[in-house]
Structure 1
Amino acid sequence: MADGVAPTKPAAAGPEPGSAAPSDGTPVPTVIVDGLHVVYRIYGAGTGHGNATAALRRLLLRQGSPNVQTVHAVKGVSFTAYRGEAIGIIGSNGSGKTTLLKAIAGLLPPERGKVYTDGQPSLLGVNAALMNDLTGATNVILGGLAMGMTREEVRERYQGIVDFSGINEKDDFISLPMRTYSSGMAARLRFSIAAAKNHDVLLIDEALATGDRAFQKRSEARIRELRKEAGTVFLVSHNNNSIRDTCDRVIWLERGELLMDGPTDEVVAAYEEHTNK
C-alpha cells in the first residue's frame, strides 16, 4: 500500500466500524501510525520582492528554488490507537501535536511512513466548517450535513446543538451572522456541531480550552459518551487538568519525536516534572 492515509477495511468476520469490540475482549485498532514523518517546505523564504519573475525563470530553466526552508515537524512517530480510547496529546509549543492530528485526518501527506485508519477521522473545526456571513442557525444545518448527517438527523439534533453550545444563553445569537461571534463562541459552536455526531475517530485540538468551566464540563462529559459509543478520541490540549479528566492514555511529543506513550497520570507527571509545571 502506498504511503499516506489509507482507510482500512476490517476482515469479513471482524466488526464493522463503530461496532463494539469482539466478544473475546480483543482490542480493535482504529488508528495505526507507523514510522510517520511530516515535513513542511516553505518556498521562496527570504527572497523579497520580484519572486514571481525569478520563479518563472527557474521553471523555464528547470532549476530548483535556491530558497526552500524545510521544517521536520513529526519525526518517526509510531503508535496504535484502539476503539474506546481517549488519548491526550501533550507537548510544548511547536512539538508537532497539531501536525500529527492533521496527518491522521488525511490533511497532510507523510514524507515517510504510513497512517492507517478504520473509519473516517473527523478533525474538529474542519469537518464542521462554518461560514462567517451566514447565521449560526444556518451553519448548524450546513455543518451537520457536511459531516454526513441526514436532514432529518440535523432537525432532530438542532436544538440540542444550540443548547449545548450555550450560544443563546444571553441573547438570540444563533440568529446572527457568525462574523458577529467572538472566537470563543464560534469555537463552542464548532465543537457542539462536531460532537452531535458519533465519530469513528474524533480529533480535537484545544477545544476544551474554549468557554467557561460549565462548557468545558459539558465537553468532557460528551467525550466520555463518545468513548462509550465505541469511538476513539484524540485531544490536544495545554490544560493538563482537562487531559487528566478526559483521557486514559497520553502521548507526549517534543520537537516532533514521541517521548512517552502510556497511562495518563504517569505521562502527565513526567511532562510536568520536565517543564517544572
Structure 2
Amino acid sequence: MADTDTTTGAEPVPTVVADGVHITYTVQGAGSPGGRGGATAALGRLLSRRDRGKGPAPGTRTVHAVKGVSFAAYKGEAIGLIGSNGSGKSTLLRAVAGLQPPSEGRIYTRGQPSLLGVNAALMGDLTGERNVVLGGLAMGMSREQVQQRYQEIVDFSGINEKGDFISLPMRTYSSGMGARLRFAIAAAKSHDVLLIDEALATGDARFQRRSQERISELRAEAGTVFLVSHSNAAIRETCDRALWLEAGRLLMDGPAGEVVDAYEAHTRKK
C-alpha cells in the first residue's frame, strides 16, 4: 500500500478506486449455434428472452466473474494481480480500463487508463512500421512524437534483431513478436494508469528485463501500473504490491512478496 510521502508530507494520490465491484456476463452454453435450424433456434431464443424480460436465454449461462472487490491504487505503485485461471484477473483489468462495466459497485479512475494491446490495437495486414505509427496516434501521441520515438520503439521490441521484420505485415509475426511490439508502443508514452495482461511472459530474459526497467520508469513518472502475470517471479521483481484473486474474490492485498508467498503456499496444498 502507498504511504504518505515523508519528504513532502503530501497525501498519496489515488488513481484507481474499486468500490464493491461485481461483474457478471452471459456466455453461450453447450451446443452449436450453427447447422440446420440454427437461425430458427436463434429466433426462438430471442423471442423467449423477450417474453421473459431480463432472464437469460436458453442455452446460455451467467458467469459471476468478480465478486465484491474493493481496493485503492495510488500514483507510483506497480500492482500485480495473481490467482489461478478463471479467478477474474483479466476481467477486473478490463473493468478498470472501462471496457467491462460493473454489474454492481463502482470503479473510479484518475486520468485515462490504457490497457496494453487494446488502446493501440494493431492490424495484421499492415506492416509493423505502419502499426507503430497508428498505434502511437491511437494512444494520443502526435505524429512528431511518433517519429521521434519510432526507432526507440523498434529497438525496444527487438523484432528487427534477426531481420527486417518491421517492414513485413504483422500477420507474419509470431504471437511473441506481436506482444513485444504492442508493449514497446504502449511503453513509449507515459500513462496515468497502464494495465498489462501477460505481456512480460513473451520474449527472452533480456526483453523481460527491459520491460521491467521500463515499468519502473513509468512508475517514477507518477503513473500506476497493473500487471497480470502467471510468473510469480515477474510479480516479485516488478511489483511492490499484489492483489490475490480467487474465484472472483479478493483474498489478499499487500506487499508483493508476502502475497506471492501466501499464494504459492496455497497452491502447494492443492
Same fold per superposition (TM over 0.5)? yes
| Aligned residue number for residue 39 of structure 2 | 52
Quote the RMSD (CA, aligned, Å).
Answer: 1.9
Q: Which amino acid aligns with 2:128?
A: G
| Aligned residue number for residue 24 of structure 1 | 9
Check 1:152–1:47 CA distance in 2 against 1; reply closer, same or farther (3 A cut): closer
> Structure 2: which 5+ runs fail to align?
none
* Distance in 2 (alpha carbons) for counterparts of 1:133 and 1:127: 18
Identity fraction in percent: 72
Shift of 1:51: 4.2
Task: Determine helix, strand or coil for the equivalent of 1:131.
Answer: coil
* Distance in 2 (alpha carbons) for counterparts of 1:231 and 1:27: 12
Aligned counterparts, 1:78-97, within 5 A: 78-97=70-89
Shift of 1:43: 4.5
Task: Check if 1:41 corresponds to 2:49.
Answer: no
Q: Retained in 2: the 8 A contact 1:83–1:232?
A: yes
Report the TM-score when normalising by structure 1.
Answer: 0.89
Q: Which amino acid aligns with 1:37?
A: H
Q: Which amino acid aligns with 2:180?
A: R
| Aligned residue number for residue 242 of structure 2 | 250
Report the TM-score when normalising by structure 2.
Answer: 0.91
* Distance in 2 (alpha carbons) for counterparts of 1:60 and 1:102: 31
* Distance in 2 (alpha carbons) for counterparts of 1:126 and 1:21: 37
Q: Which amino acid aligns with 2:73?
A: A
Task: Determine helix, strand or coil for the equivalent of 1:203.
Answer: strand
Q: Retained in 1: the 8 A contact 2:45–2:58?
A: no
Task: Check if 1:227 corresponds to 2:219.
Answer: yes
| Aligned residue number for residue 63 of structure 1 | 51
Task: Check if 1:175 corresponds to 2:180.
Answer: no
Aligned counterparts, 1:113-152, within 5 A: 113-152=105-144
| Aligned residue number for residue 15 of structure 1 | none
Moved more, 61-70 or 124-133: 61-70
Q: Retained in 2: the 8 A contact 1:34–1:115?
A: yes
Q: Retained in 2: the 8 A contact 1:21–1:83?
A: no
* Distance in 2 (alpha carbons) for counterparts of 1:187 and 1:58: 38
| Aligned residue number for residue 14 of structure 1 | none
Q: Retained in 1: the 8 A contact 2:81–2:242?
A: yes
Check 1:168–1:269 CA distance in 2 against 1; reply closer, same or farther (3 A cut): same
Q: Which amino acid aligns with 1:63?
A: D
> Structure 1: which 5+ runs fail to align?
1-19
Show CA shifts across 1:222-262 (max 9, x none). 00000000000000001111111110000000000000000
Shift of 1:68: 2.6
